[in-house]
Amino acid sequence: MKFFPSFLLSCLLLISSGAFAQTTKSKAKGPATATLQLKTSAVCDMCKARLEKAMAYEKGVQQATLDVPSQMLTVTFRPDKTNAAALTSAVQKTGYDANGQLADDKAYERLPECCKKTNDVH
Protein backbone atom coordinates (compact mmCIF):
# COMPACT_ATOMS: atom_id res chain seq x y z
CA MET A 1 0.00 0.00 0.00
CA LYS A 2 2.87 2.40 0.70
CA PHE A 3 4.27 1.79 -2.77
CA PHE A 4 1.35 3.37 -4.66
CA PRO A 5 1.45 6.86 -3.03
CA SER A 6 5.24 7.13 -3.43
CA PHE A 7 4.98 5.96 -7.06
CA LEU A 8 2.27 8.56 -7.72
CA LEU A 9 4.40 11.28 -6.11
CA SER A 10 7.44 10.28 -8.23
CA CYS A 11 5.40 10.44 -11.43
CA LEU A 12 4.04 13.85 -10.49
CA LEU A 13 7.58 15.18 -9.85
CA LEU A 14 8.83 13.86 -13.20
CA ILE A 15 5.98 15.47 -15.10
CA SER A 16 6.36 18.81 -13.34
CA SER A 17 10.15 18.93 -13.83
CA GLY A 18 9.66 18.36 -17.58
CA ALA A 19 7.42 21.42 -17.70
CA PHE A 20 10.32 23.62 -16.52
CA ALA A 21 12.92 22.23 -18.90
CA GLN A 22 14.64 24.83 -21.02
CA THR A 23 14.30 24.73 -24.75
CA THR A 24 17.11 25.98 -26.93
CA LYS A 25 16.55 27.74 -30.18
CA SER A 26 18.84 26.78 -33.00
CA LYS A 27 20.53 29.80 -34.47
CA ALA A 28 20.56 30.19 -38.20
CA LYS A 29 24.14 29.57 -39.19
CA GLY A 30 25.93 30.94 -42.17
CA PRO A 31 28.81 29.22 -43.89
CA ALA A 32 31.30 27.65 -41.49
CA THR A 33 34.29 29.00 -43.40
CA ALA A 34 35.04 31.45 -46.17
CA THR A 35 38.06 31.91 -48.41
CA LEU A 36 39.76 35.18 -49.31
CA GLN A 37 42.49 35.68 -51.89
CA LEU A 38 44.76 38.69 -51.62
CA LYS A 39 47.36 39.85 -54.10
CA THR A 40 50.39 40.79 -52.00
CA SER A 41 53.80 42.34 -52.54
CA ALA A 42 55.57 39.31 -51.03
CA VAL A 43 58.66 38.23 -52.98
CA CYS A 44 60.40 35.33 -51.21
CA ASP A 45 60.09 32.37 -48.86
CA MET A 46 60.84 34.61 -45.88
CA CYS A 47 57.80 36.67 -46.86
CA LYS A 48 55.78 33.46 -47.08
CA ALA A 49 56.78 32.40 -43.56
CA ARG A 50 56.19 35.89 -42.15
CA LEU A 51 52.72 36.30 -43.70
CA GLU A 52 51.51 32.81 -42.87
CA LYS A 53 52.67 33.19 -39.26
CA ALA A 54 51.06 36.62 -38.90
CA MET A 55 47.76 35.36 -40.28
CA ALA A 56 47.82 32.40 -37.87
CA TYR A 57 47.58 34.91 -35.01
CA GLU A 58 44.50 36.60 -36.47
CA LYS A 59 41.22 35.69 -34.80
CA GLY A 60 39.11 33.33 -36.91
CA VAL A 61 41.83 32.38 -39.40
CA GLN A 62 42.00 28.65 -39.94
CA GLN A 63 44.63 28.52 -42.68
CA ALA A 64 46.77 30.89 -44.70
CA THR A 65 48.94 29.91 -47.66
CA LEU A 66 51.07 32.19 -49.81
CA ASP A 67 51.98 31.17 -53.35
CA VAL A 68 55.24 33.09 -53.84
CA PRO A 69 55.42 33.06 -57.68
CA SER A 70 51.90 34.49 -58.07
CA GLN A 71 52.10 36.53 -54.82
CA MET A 72 48.58 35.31 -53.91
CA LEU A 73 47.73 34.79 -50.25
CA THR A 74 44.79 32.44 -49.74
CA VAL A 75 43.15 32.70 -46.32
CA THR A 76 40.47 30.36 -44.99
CA PHE A 77 38.62 31.96 -42.09
CA ARG A 78 35.43 31.90 -40.02
CA PRO A 79 33.19 34.79 -41.09
CA ASP A 80 31.57 34.93 -37.66
CA LYS A 81 34.97 35.78 -36.15
CA THR A 82 36.58 38.11 -38.73
CA ASN A 83 36.06 39.65 -42.16
CA ALA A 84 37.93 40.47 -45.36
CA ALA A 85 38.68 44.06 -44.31
CA ALA A 86 40.31 42.93 -41.05
CA LEU A 87 42.41 40.34 -42.87
CA THR A 88 43.50 42.86 -45.50
CA SER A 89 44.51 45.24 -42.72
CA ALA A 90 46.48 42.46 -41.00
CA VAL A 91 48.48 41.88 -44.20
CA GLN A 92 49.20 45.61 -44.44
CA LYS A 93 50.30 45.74 -40.78
CA THR A 94 52.72 42.91 -41.52
CA GLY A 95 54.42 45.15 -44.09
CA TYR A 96 52.95 43.98 -47.38
CA ASP A 97 50.57 45.52 -49.90
CA ALA A 98 47.20 43.80 -50.13
CA ASN A 99 45.04 44.03 -53.26
CA GLY A 100 46.63 47.31 -54.29
CA GLN A 101 46.32 48.90 -50.85
CA LEU A 102 49.73 50.01 -49.61
CA ALA A 103 51.47 48.43 -46.65
CA ASP A 104 51.84 50.17 -43.32
CA ASP A 105 54.98 52.35 -43.65
CA LYS A 106 56.52 51.42 -40.29
CA ALA A 107 55.91 47.71 -40.83
CA TYR A 108 57.35 47.90 -44.34
CA GLU A 109 60.53 49.57 -43.06
CA ARG A 110 61.04 46.71 -40.57
CA LEU A 111 61.09 44.11 -43.37
CA PRO A 112 64.46 42.61 -44.36
CA GLU A 113 65.91 44.05 -47.57
CA CYS A 114 65.18 40.86 -49.53
CA CYS A 115 61.47 41.21 -48.68
CA LYS A 116 61.05 44.75 -49.97
CA LYS A 117 58.80 45.09 -52.99
CA THR A 118 61.54 46.73 -55.02
CA ASN A 119 63.11 43.25 -55.37
CA ASP A 120 61.99 40.76 -58.00
CA VAL A 121 60.02 37.71 -57.01
CA HIS A 122 62.55 34.96 -56.30
Q: Domain of 46?
A: 34-112
Whether 11 is covered by a domain: the verdict is no
pLDDT at 11: 55
Give the pLDDT confidence of 63-104 residue by residue, as tens digits: 999 999 999 999 999 999 999 999 999 999 999 999 999 999
Strands 34-39 and 72-77, by their bridges, are antiparallel
Whether 14 is covered by a domain: the verdict is no
- What would you report as the CA-atom Rg of the chain, rounded to the nearest whole angstrom? 27
Q: Are 58 and 108 in contact (CB under 8 A)?
A: no
Name the packing angle between helices 45-56 and 84-94 (round to 10°): 130
Whether 83 is covered by a domain: the verdict is yes
Give the pLDDT confidence of 17-41 residue by residue, as tens digits: 554 444 444 455 667 999 999 999 9
Domain count of the chain? 1
